[in-house]
Amino acid sequence: MSPNSSSATEDLADVERVLAGDAAAFAGIVRRWQTPLVNMAWRYCRDRGRAEELAQEAFIRAWRGLAQWRCESSFSTWLFALAANVYRSELKRFPAVNLPLEAAPEPSGPALQHHALAEKSSQEAVRRAVLALPLRYREPVILFYFHEMDLAAAARTMRLPEGTLKARLSRARALLRRRFPKLEDEQEALEFSTATPERRPNLEANRN
């Protein structure tokens, strides 16, 4: 997840300016990376205010440690790894209020009249359940999907071998599937109920 591919050179230029004493140049870095960092923090806590606080803390730590970026990895890799560290340690100090996995609500059935609302509520229940996973499984899930299912990028952010991350991810998915055994049916039911009458026979055939 990066703002655009040309940002690497801009990042490098801004970092050099900041290290040369131009604090205002840091604004360019914040402008480019604020959305990814806030979204990443949101996935860690699912609280908008807290997400912004966490992202702000990550930027401040980046500012303090900018000289430690040795250009061996891309700026984004360094920044995401630093942010993940900040979010992890801050949430250990003041944990987000989460339900245990067993208490996470089941996705609402398609009985709800408004299909879009039903779908949204069902998906939100699953996303919130991620936060109820044990930390060693939660973080791989958060970072894997944050990095648009790029295992290598998630592994770099967590500074873990890809194999380890893959194993944890697999265990996390198994836990989630066990918690939401009807997930597939719910999704299919929602798709079916929202499909046009012409598409319904195709969906019916796929289900069988």
Partner 1 sequence: MKPTATKSAENSAAALDRILATEEELLPSSGFLASVMERVQEEAAAPAPIPFPWKRAIPGMVLAVIVLGGGAVELVRISLSAAREISLAPARLPAVVHPVQDAGWVAAALGASLVCRMLSRLLAGRSGLL
The minimum distance between CB 35 and partner 1, in angstroms, equals 6
| Residue 198 tokens, joined | 């012409």
Q: Does 15 bind partner 1 (CB under 8 A)?
A: no
Query: Site residues for partner 1, window 172-201 (CB under 8 A)?
Result: 173, 176-177, 180-181, 183-184, 187
The minimum distance between CB 37 and partner 1, in angstroms, equals 8
| Residue 202 tokens, joined | 């195709």
Site mask for partner 1 (CB under 8 A), range 50-89, x = bound: -xx--xx--xx--xx-------------------------
Q: Does 96 bind partner 1 (CB under 8 A)?
A: no
As a whole number of angstroms, the distance between CA 8 and CA 115 comes to 42
The minimum distance between CB 139 and partner 1, in angstroms, equals 13
**What is the amino acid identity at position 26?**
F
Largest Cα separation within the chain, whole Å, is 66
First to last CA, the chain: 37
C-alpha dist (Å) from residue 152 to 35, 81, 147, 207: 21, 13, 9, 34
The minimum distance between CB 27 and partner 1, in angstroms, equals 5
Q: Which residues, including other chains, have CB under 8 Å from residue 128's CB and lie 6 or more apart?
A: 46, 98, 99, 104
Would you tell me which residues interact with partner 1 (CB under 8 A)?
Answer: 23-24, 26-27, 30-31, 34-35, 38-39, 42-43, 48, 51-52, 55-56, 59-60, 63-64, 123, 126-127, 130, 141, 145, 148-149, 173, 176-177, 180-181, 183-184, 187
